[in-house]
Amino acid sequence: DVKVTQSSRYLVKRTGEKVFLECVQDMDHENMFWYRQDPGLGLRLIYFSYDVKMKEKGDIPEGYSVSREKKERFSLILESASTNQTSMYLCAIQTGPYEQYFGPGTRLTVT
Amino acid sequence: GDSVTQMEGPVTLSEEAFLTINCTYTATGYPSLFWYVQYPGEGLQLLLKATKADDKGSNKGFEATYRKETTSFHLEKGSVQVSDSAVYFCALSGQGGYQKVTFGTGTKLQVIP
C-alpha cells in the first residue's frame, strides 16, 4: 500500500516564524503536490514538483516556497508565517494517470 | 480555466436514505472526473473516477456517471449509512501539461441514525 506521511498533524506557530512542513512518500512516485484546504474554498494548489530539484508554482504560491532534495521528500516552507496562512495543509502524490493519493494533513495555526 | 461547481452543504440525511450530490464542471477537451472523500481528521481518498463520456464510476455503493452533454458528474448512493458521514469533493483533471487536479469546494454529508 502507498504511504504518505506528514511531519505533524497539528502545529501552532507565531507570526513571523519560519515554518517547515514535511511530506514523505514510501514509493518512487515523481509528482508530489502541496495544497491548502480552507472552508468554502476547497483545495488550492500551492506548489508541485515533478522530480528532484524541480518545482512549479500552483495557483497560490505567494508566501510559500518548496524544497525537494530527495525523491521521497517534499517540503513546504513558510518563510515568515502570517495569520492568513492558518489552514489545513495537504500533501499528495500522483499514483496513476490523473489520480492523487493524499497524506493525513497538517492543521497549522499561526497566532 | 477549468472549474468545478458542487452543491452547497451541509447535507443531512437519515440512515438508508437516497443520496445525490450534484457536480458540474467547466473544462476544455475531455477531462477525467473524480469523487474524493474526506473522513473526519483524515486526508482525501479517491472514491471513484470516470475517464471518458458515459463512463460510470462506482465504489462502496456510490456511483457517478460522466455526462458530457450536461457537463455533470453527480454522486449517488441508494442507501446511506452513518459511516458515510464525510466531506465529498468533486474534481477534474484536464489533459496536457502536468496533470493538475481542480477540486470543488466540498459537500459535507451528515447521516443520522
Given a contact cutoff of 8 angstroms between Cβ atoms, the answer to whether A75 and A20 are in contact is yes
Question: Would you say residue A30 has pLDDT above 80?
Answer: yes
Contacts of A102 in chain B (CB under 8 A): 36, 43-45
Q: Cβ(A72)–Cβ(A15) under 8 Å?
A: no
Please say if the pLDDT value at position A75 is more than 70.
yes
Closest-CA distance, B81 to chain A, in angstroms, reads: 23
Mean pLDDT, rounded, for A81-88: 97
Specify the DSSP class assigned to residue A81. -
Q: What is the pLDDT of residues B26-37, one digit of tens each?
A: 998 889 999 999
String of b and e for A72-88 (b: at least 16 CB within 10 Å)?
bebbbebeebeeebbbb
Instruction: Name chain A contacts of B49, Cβ cutoff 8 Å.
Output: 98-99
Give the CB-side neighbour count of residue A96, counting CA atoms within 13 A.
8
**Residue ranges of E strands in A1-111:** 4-6, 10-13, 19-25, 32-38, 42-51, 54-57, 64-70, 73-78, 87-96, 99-102, 106-110
Asked if B103 lies within 8 A of A94 by C-beta distance, the reply is no
pLDDT digits (tens, 9 = 90+) for A31-69: 999 999 998 888 999 999 988 989 999 999 999 999 999
Residue B62 has pLDDT above 90, yes or no: yes
Which pLDDT band, with edges at 50, 70 and 90, does B96 fall under?
low
Cα of A38 vs its chain's centroid, Å: 14
Answer whether B57 touches A (CB < 8 Å): no
Task: Give the CB-side neighbour count of residue A100, counting CA atoms within 13 A.
Answer: 32
Q: Collect all residues with Cβ–Cβ distance below 8 Å to A72 and sequence separation of at least 6.
A: A24, A25, A26, A28
Surface-to-core class of residue B59, CB atoms within 10 Å of its CB (0-12 exposed, 13-18 middle, 19+ buried)? middle
Percent of chain B past pLDDT 90, that is, above it, reads 76
CB-based contact (8 Å) between A38 and chain B?
A: no
Residues of A in contact with B8 (CB under 8 A): none
Q: If pLDDT is split at 50, 70 and 90, which confidence band does B98 have?
A: low
Which chain A residues are Cβ-neighbours of B40 within 8 angstroms? Answer: none
At residue B111, the pLDDT reads 97
Asked if the C-beta of B49 comes within 8 angstroms of chain A's C-beta atoms, the answer is yes
Instruction: Please give the biggest Cα pair distance in chain A.
Output: 39
pLDDT at residue B95 tops 70: no
Question: Are A92 and A35 a contacting pair, CB within 8 Å?
Answer: yes
Residue B28 has a pLDDT of: 83
* Cell digits of residue A21: 512542513
